[in-house]
Structure 1
Amino acid sequence: MAGYELFLKLANDCREGREIPLGALLAGMPHPEPVLLDEVGKMEAAGLLTRPATRAGTIAYVPTPQFLALLRQFSAQFGSQSILRDQQLLVVAQDGPMHDFAVTLYDNFYDLGWLYLHNFGTACFLLSSLVARVATAHGYRARIESCDVEIAKGQGRYLLGAQGHAKAGQIDGHTVCILEECMLVDFGLGNVRRNYRCDFPWALACGYQPEAAMLGGIALASGETVIWKNDWQSPGAEAKLVRDAPHLDTLYQQYHARFG
């Protein structure tokens, strides 16, 4: 995954036609420097990057025509996926690397079918555990937070995970993943699409800003306000997380085999 994220960062910078200092290229990347330097070396050996003549003590890279050709192929293949993602995912974050990580995580979960094929989008406990498991493997501090969600528009209100709202075969409660104590990530909104609005976003991420009983909030272009709260803790949440735990290693191995 380090190589893929490095490719995306290079793609963003090279569109601006700039030489990219090595320090700027590595800054903010959620991987150890030796791992990133190894990926840079592989790209240079493959003819994707070249070093221009620079002043003494400075190392910079410029993407080659071969890199630009690869980028055009990538854009042609995944441009439609980006359009689809923009309709399914909303990330509001001031931290650029955290924003990019949430987007990459969503793309990878979608590619694995975890958000729709296996119906994990309606299993918030398992999905929040998977987000935490993958994020931890990439060096982020991650934890699961039990909560409930209020979606309001005008006089209307929809509650997810609130006490007494579980349907037959479900348990009350909802969970999200908190990354680095600064971002709230919720990939488990399948029941909102099923029971509230079928074109509701598949996933949301926003700043983690705990205040009183509120964990964070986000405003949607459709006019709704989404608020995550921890004013009530589901008595069944912890037991459900424990029951899901044996599945995490197997699922993570699928992720690691595909994305590293």
Structure 2
Amino acid sequence: GAEVCVISKMPPGAPNCTTRAWGGFTYSTDETADELFAQIVETGGFLSNQKLVQVLVEEVPRALAAMAELGIEMDEPMLSAPEMPGIVRWSYRGKDSGQTMTDLARGAAEDLGARFLCETVATRVLTDEGRVAGVAAVDLKEMKPVAFQAKSVVIATGGGARLWPRTDNPEGTTGDGMVLAYCAGAELVDLECVSFGFPKQRLSEVFDAPEVPCDPLLDLGHAHYFLGGVKIGPSGETTLPGLYAAGEVSGGLFGAARLGGSALADVVIFG
């Protein structure tokens, strides 16, 4: 029965990290949940909030069932690729990757009455007496300020990999949500943990070189995923009453590193 309005600074149809996802989805059954739990915690250097990890591994089967109800087609589960960590993780591969998931989820939300306002950038989370009261924003089409009164606000703005000159993230992933949450008084966590991708050949050249390269090693790769972000609890709640965070903008689930395919699971379960 809640009235829901989704605002985005990007124009309609603009790509995001979910639409660009290739469809790998971390999978476990009741029988393999404990092993997946251990894998996520170990991969993250034991920095993960293990309460969040427990929610993830328990909810994966139900999340996949919910996706199927939306009409998202899935292949049969398959073993992880050999180069992936561990041996018990499975993946579902969506036939049309994250774009289909995004389109169908948006359609379902609109059918339930949710409104979508594109090219509207949030500038501040409004608070009153220590809890959320709404959002201040700017309509980029009209260049006019706009305000939304709300008892609850969910930040789902993605990560901040576009802060680096070399990245595989689309425009828009500039860390806005973390700034909004922090300025409103919410806590952040693990901001030092950012995932970078490196071509194997380039890494071999670095480690086989007779001398340490003068160029920073990060310049050899590309920023891929923000592991830290807004600190959340098992229901996505932040340390500011009424404020929630979902997806890559949140932090604490993965710790220092994550398994391939776990980002989509995070989006569906905590988003």
Indicate the TM-score class for this superposition, using the shorter chain for normalisation: under 0.3
Could you tell me the TM-score, scaled by structure 2's length?
0.24
**Please, what TM-score do these two structures have when normalized by structure 1?**
0.24
Compare CA radii of gyration and give the structure with the larger one. Answer: 1
Greater RCO between the two (CA within 8 Å, min separation 6)? 2
